[in-house]
Amino acid sequence: MTTRVLLADDQAMMRTAYQMILDAQPDIEVVAAVADGGAAIDEARRHRPDVCLLDIRMPKLDGLAATRILAGPGVADPTRVLIATTFDLDEYVYQALRNGACGFLLKDTSPALLVEAVRAAAQGNSLIAPAVTVRLLDRLTAGGSPADERPASALTEREFAVVRLVAQGQTNEEIAARLYITLSTVKTHVAHVQRKLEVRNRVEIAAWAWRTGVCR
């Protein structure tokens, strides 16, 4: 199946570069490319893309606010949002993920990693730029959160196994192979874990696992 992507970046050069890289892939199609967050919301509602690739600093509506509208808590049918930005700031990473983003890249990332991140987002996986992953987990595990108070008994033995592999950075496909279960079963387990821990994405599952000692 073709992954349909919406691009939003206020720099025309970046939009062109992203579109050239992504349209060159046989399984990816850019359906819209816009210059601000407001237009991103309008075009996302019009085209219903599989993935939105958003910049953070844009006119009218920034990428963080757009992410919250498209994928944030309470959104009935959230869109998968991937953030790509020049600014390697911890607060941006943290807020983007809190607002529902399923991935975070820096604009100097390689074309191969960009393509991998789009494919991962389309499959419901998270991909964070390697340069910020360790810092992000350090921050997420530094303090407590409501998820810390969830009793370990809330998860089944198989869900614990899935959590440990998610915390190790395994994709759904890799988890399915490791546990000898189907891909759809993995997705079901991940969804149950997110609901039980009240977290929004795989990164927060991983943070919970490291913070509570489930994964060491």
CB-CB contact of 145 with 55 (8 Å): no
What confidence score (pLDDT) does residue 146 get? 47
Classify residue 18 by burial, with Cβ atoms within 10 Å: 0-12, 13-18, 19+: buried
Give the residue carrying structure tokens 């198989």: 158
pLDDT in tens, 69-90: 999 888 888 999 999 988 666 6
Q: How many beta carbons lie within 10 A of that of residue 12, not counting itself?
A: 10
3-state secondary structure of 29: strand
What confidence score (pLDDT) does residue 44 get? 96
What confidence score (pLDDT) does residue 149 get? 55
- Model pTM greater than 0.75? no
Four-residue CA torsion sign, 102, 108, 109, 110: positive
What confidence score (pLDDT) does residue 90 get? 65
Pure H helices in the chain: 12-23, 37-47, 63-71, 90-98, 111-122, 130-140, 157-167, 172-179, 183-197, 202-212
Give the whole-angstrom CA distance, residue 109 versus residue 190: 28
DSSP assigned state of 78: P
Taking CA 55 as the corner, what is the angle to CA 122 and CA 23, rounded to the nearest 5 degrees?
50
3-state secondary structure of 125: coil
pLDDT in tens, 85-112: 886 666 787 788 888 888 888 888 889 8
Low-confidence stretches of the chain (pLDDT < 50) are 146-147
What confidence score (pLDDT) does residue 211 get? 77
Give the whole-angstrom CA distance, residue 139 versus residue 161: 24
CB-CB contact of 82 with 52 (8 Å): yes
pLDDT in tens, 114-128: 998 899 889 887 777
